[in-house]
Structure 1
Amino acid sequence: MIKVPRGTQDILPEQSYKWQAVENIIRQTCNVYQYKEIRTPIFEHTELFTRSVGDTTDIVQKEMYTFEDRGNRSLTLRPEGTASTVRAYVEHKLFGQPDQPVKLYYMGPMFRYERQQAGRYRQFVQFGIEAIGSADPAVDAEVIALAMDVYKKAGLKEIKLVLNSLGDSESRNAHKEALVAHFAPRIDEFCGDCQNRLEKNPLRILDCKRDRNHELMAIAPKLTDYLNEESATYFEKVKTYLDALDIAYEIDPNLVRGLDYYNHTAFEIMSTSSGFGAITTLAGGGRYNGLVEELGGPSSPGIGFAMSIERLLLALEAEKSEIEDHSSVDAYVIALGDEPKIAAMKVLKDLRQAGVSSDMDYADRKLKAQMKSADRKKAKVVLILGEDELANSSVQVKLLATGEQQLISLGEVGNKVQQMIREEQQ
């Protein structure tokens, strides 16, 4: 028997309705905030990710699915969505649109070769937004507000926002020098990755999972202490806007995120549910001024976030928050005999054209077995069509909630059943 590859999963109908519900919330929220959907290829040129994500990151060094095509071109399954979105922004000259920032969202599969954990897969579905073309700190607050709204509308209550500033290049360079001086005397106590990052990108040391408990981590120089006046003012404005939106937050000076393109605002949204597990991050994002220029475009500051749909659903489970299944059938058609079955197919067509969710038996079972099937599908109405009903060009319609039953003309089935269901729901 062939099974799914390690780190992937099949999402079966008893779970897929939850995905659909969350996806609907996401699309509705993005519409309210006026973010428009963008769909980019699942694979890109490898250079896109090495240039944008950063060649010292775990994603580029260890986790990308990279291959050569028949033209000997190096391609990579997308490990995240920002790089592709910014590439499209540059390639299609969206920076020329009169209204900036351009506000985009994406939702689709991403791929990272990492150890499978609860809610983490090698193929996972990520929702993210990007607001490109504005350096206004109010946009930072809007992006964070959208993420928080999605979680709240999905039913999550036990979440918190963690915030930091990574500053501009001047602030980061001053902090970098302080980090090198701090870690260099004892760098041999750290993993090989951290030793390689000391000179190239010491900020990545703070993001190391292996050495996170080393004593030097707790007392490492804080980037917020090295913010120049411009960066500090920017960060204060972001916090002021979040306060105005009544969005609570915590400041974490060690929050650096795992991608090289971030600067200024960085944030994560975490689950605080006791049943969620050790890795609490649900979503993360930040500002990436300079990334558009890195990919060949004009100066266009941007900010965004990404969230895992798998981890959102896991957090809902941890909070014991149920997503209601609205996929139950409205009407179930029961045919008793060959001729009635032909007529039942026409009834099914009329119901569906009237917008009534409908189904019928395709196993030629007895009346009792078909009624049980209607119960399992949680049908609101059962339509029974036998030889007698067919002779009168009618069908027996039973409202299961009340037991009310009436004979309806075949020509009126769609409208009548639709009306019965509407009245029952009121």
Structure 2
Amino acid sequence: MPLQRPKGTQDHLPEGSPKLGLDVRASAFAHVEDTARRVLERAGASFINTPLFEEAEVYKRGVGGSTDIVRKEMFTVYYFGTHGGYVLRPEGTAGIVRAYLQNGLKQLPAPLKLWTHGPMFRAENVHKGRERQFHQVDYEVLGSSDPLVDAEAIWLMWEVVRALGLTGGRIKLGSIGDPADREGYNAYLREVFTPHLDRLSDDSRDRLERNPMRILDSKSGGDQALIRELEVRPMLDFLGDEARAHFGAVQNYLTAWGVPFDVDPSIVRGLDYYRRTAWELHHEGVGAKSALGGGGRYDGLAAQLGGPEVPAVGWAFGIERLLLALEAEGVALPRAGGPLLFLAAMDEERVGLAAQVALEARAVTRVEFAYRAMKPGSAFREADRRGAALAAVIGSEEAARGVLNVKTLATGVQREVALAELSAFLELERA
């Protein structure tokens, strides 16, 4: 039996492959990435690419030592049999902020908008829409605390998925306030949960002293039942005046721009560097765990990574989960097209000439050629199988006259085109 890919990974396959689903179509991933590039770069974002692995400390500080990601889900990188203190990146934000600090990007005009896409890695149980190697689109803005920046970030997330054809998603919007607001809320949570320590999961008992807000994110059914039974008040009840005004301004912008959202008091971010705005993008088509992605303001992250405080906000969505939502809505993404022209020689003596003509024509468009001589009927069938729009054959007579017989496969119409004019002809056909 041939060797298999690792569990929790996928091969992204070319068009025409057997068992080709939307979630493994290479063209579908490319379309999502190209759409994100178009939307985000029109808004002034620049592309950034960071390493697939970083020092583990980047994520211990940047994601949080108490999170499941750091405690349970990071892949450790070894080299020459030695543990080097590196991990495969589980998310994009911490690495981008590390790059911002290390490379002096603060000198660029603020707010600085950055975006990226690529694989992330988490050692967790595989389930629908979540692989151990998965892919994200990530957008970050550094250098401004204005609520307009938050609102634009949310609008851009919505605009990317809308441009892809998704209509059934919705933003769940919350706020986690300022550090003083969070301190008050954490004190309240300790007071509420401490009398019920015996009913909390092991993870939540551990979080109660260090990070009680993370109890609200617990995956334990018992913890969630206790939260409902105690009628735990939401973070929104503890917002100070400035954070409340900021939250109201974000909502006003989104309402004016027509972005669909619901205020969701249950949205929390448990780490100290998060501030104010937090949101998630949901779609029921991906199942019970309906989040496609999310974002928030993280003004304290740069300081956690050893730099100065830099106000920042950002988001990410998982491409695999987004493709599930698009599939649930029946959105047909464009498929990768075939060549504009497929070229074949009718005899072995002209195979080299056909190759040369094809290589020169590639200056203007995608052209493929046959590596052996083919009869016209076989050449046209092969061109159709490859998804070509045009097919051409060249034999001794055509070579002597310097022409090609070009057939439009959709109509069957054939035209004679001079070799010297082929590039100009193909440019017109491509338009």
What is the TM-score normalised by the length of structure 2? Answer: 0.92
Cα deviation digits, residues 260-282 of structure 1 (max 9, x gap):
54221100011133xx3111101
**Of 276, 282, 294, which residue of structure 1 is paired with 2:292?**
282
- 2:237 maps to 225
* Structure 1 SS opposite 2:393: strand
Higher mean alpha-carbon deviation, 210-219 vs 293-302, is at 210-219
Does structure 2 retain, via aligned residues, the 8 Å contact 1:171–1:227? yes
- 1:319 maps to 329
Does structure 2 retain, via aligned residues, the 8 Å contact 1:206–1:212? no
Residues 322 and 213 of structure 1: CA distance in aligned 2, closer, same or farther (over 3 Å): farther
Is it true that 1:330 corresponds to 2:331 in the alignment? no
Does structure 2 retain, via aligned residues, the 8 Å contact 1:137–1:234? yes
**Of 172, 181, 194, which residue of structure 1 is paired with 2:182?**
172
- 2:21 maps to none
Q: What is the CA-CA distance between 1:236 and the residue it aligns to?
A: 1.0
Output the CA distance in 1 between the equivalents of 2:86 and 2:365.
46
Cα deviation digits, residues 6-35 of structure 1 (max 9, x gap):
111111112111111111111111111101
**Of 380, 401, 407, which residue of structure 2 is paired with 1:392?**
401
Output the CA distance in 2 between the equivalents of 1:303 and 1:279.
24
- 1:268 maps to 280
- Percent identical: 39
Q: Which amino acid counterpart does residue 395 of structure 1 have in structure 2?
A: L
Does structure 1 retain, via aligned residues, the 8 Å contact 2:201–2:223? no
- 1:9 maps to 10
Cα deviation digits, residues 226-279 of structure 1 (max 9, x gap):
111121111111111212222121111111147654221100011133xx3111
* Structure 2 SS opposite 1:389: helix
Q: What is the CA-CA distance between 1:363 and the residue it aligns to?
A: 4.9
Residues 68 and 343 of structure 1: CA distance in aligned 2, closer, same or farther (over 3 Å): closer
Output the CA distance in 2 between the equivalents of 1:419 and 1:34.
33
**Of 33, 38, 43, which residue of structure 1 is paired with 2:43?**
33
Is it true that 1:299 corresponds to 2:309 in the alignment? yes
Higher mean alpha-carbon deviation, 318-327 vs 166-175, is at 318-327
Is it true that 1:181 corresponds to 2:191 in the alignment? yes
- 1:122 maps to 132
Is it true that 1:210 corresponds to 2:220 in the alignment? yes
Does structure 2 retain, via aligned residues, the 8 Å contact 1:268–1:282? yes
Does structure 1 retain, via aligned residues, the 8 Å contact 2:136–2:316? yes
Q: What is the CA-CA distance between 1:213 and the residue it aligns to?
A: 6.8
Residues 370 and 64 of structure 1: CA distance in aligned 2, closer, same or farther (over 3 Å): same
Output the CA distance in 2 between the equivalents of 1:39 and 1:397.
43
Higher mean alpha-carbon deviation, 396-405 vs 136-145, is at 396-405
**Of 106, 109, 116, which residue of structure 2 is paired with 1:95?**
106
Alignment RMSD (CA, Å): 1.8
Cα deviation digits, residues 401-421 of structure 1 (max 9, x gap):
332222222222222233245
Output the CA distance in 2 between the equivalents of 1:75 and 1:188.
37
Cα deviation digits, residues 96-120 of structure 1 (max 9, x gap):
33x2111111111111111111121
* Structure 2 SS opposite 1:254: coil
**Of 52, 62, 67, which residue of structure 2 is paired with 1:52?**
62
Structure 1: gaps spanning 5 or more residues: none
Does structure 2 retain, via aligned residues, the 8 Å contact 1:222–1:254? yes
Does structure 1 retain, via aligned residues, the 8 Å contact 2:218–2:224? no
* Structure 1 SS opposite 2:316: strand
- 1:243 maps to 255
Does structure 2 retain, via aligned residues, the 8 Å contact 1:206–1:217? yes
Q: What is the CA-CA distance between 1:212 and the residue it aligns to?
A: 6.9
Q: What is the CA-CA distance between 1:61 and the residue it aligns to?
A: 0.8
- 2:381 maps to 372
Output the CA distance in 1 between the equivalents of 2:304 and 2:380.
64
Does structure 2 retain, via aligned residues, the 8 Å contact 1:175–1:221? no
Does structure 1 retain, via aligned residues, the 8 Å contact 2:215–2:223? no
Output the CA distance in 2 between the equivalents of 1:295 and 1:311.
30
Structure 2: gaps spanning 5 or more residues: 16-24
Q: Which amino acid counterpart does residue 38 of structure 2 have in structure 1?
A: Q
- 2:18 maps to none
Does structure 2 retain, via aligned residues, the 8 Å contact 1:333–1:383? yes
Does structure 1 retain, via aligned residues, the 8 Å contact 2:93–2:140? yes
Output the CA distance in 1 between the equivalents of 2:148 and 2:430.
46
Does structure 2 retain, via aligned residues, the 8 Å contact 1:350–1:413? no
Residues 142 and 420 of structure 1: CA distance in aligned 2, closer, same or farther (over 3 Å): closer
Is it true that 1:362 corresponds to 2:386 in the alignment? no
Cα deviation digits, residues 168-189 of structure 1 (max 9, x gap):
1111111111111222222322
Q: What is the CA-CA distance between 1:365 and the residue it aligns to?
A: 4.5
Output the CA distance in 1 between the equivalents of 2:48 and 2:218.
32
Does structure 2 retain, via aligned residues, the 8 Å contact 1:395–1:410? yes
**Of 382, 396, 406, which residue of structure 1 is paired with 2:415?**
406
